[in-house]
Structure 1
Amino acid sequence: MISVIVVFIIFAVIILYNINRMTNILCIQKEIPEEKHPKIFRTINIYITILLVSSYVEILFT
Structure 2
Amino acid sequence: MALYFIPLAVVILFYINKLTNTLCVQREIPEDKQPKVFRTINVLITILLITSYIEVLFT
Q: TM-score, normalised by structure 2?
A: 0.98
Q: Which runs of 4+ in 1 moved over 6 A?
A: none
Residue 15 of structure 2: which of 13, 18, 28 is its match?
18
Aligned counterparts of 2:49 and 2:16: Cα–Cα separation in 1: 12
Residue 54 of structure 2: which of 50, 54, 57 is its match?
57
Q: Report the count of equivalent residues.
A: 59
* Aligned residue in 2 for 1:46: 43
CA RMSD of aligned residues (A): 0.4
Higher helix proportion (structure 1 or 2): 1
2:4 is aligned with 1:7: yes
Deviations 1:16-39 (A, max 9, x none): 000000000000011000000100
Where structure 2 has 5 or more consecutive residues not aligned to the other structure, the ranges are none
Where structure 1 has 5 or more consecutive residues not aligned to the other structure, the ranges are none
Aligned counterparts of 1:38 and 1:30: Cα–Cα separation in 2: 15
Aligned counterparts of 1:45 and 1:6: Cα–Cα separation in 2: 21
Residue 32 of structure 2: which of 30, 35, 49 is its match?
35
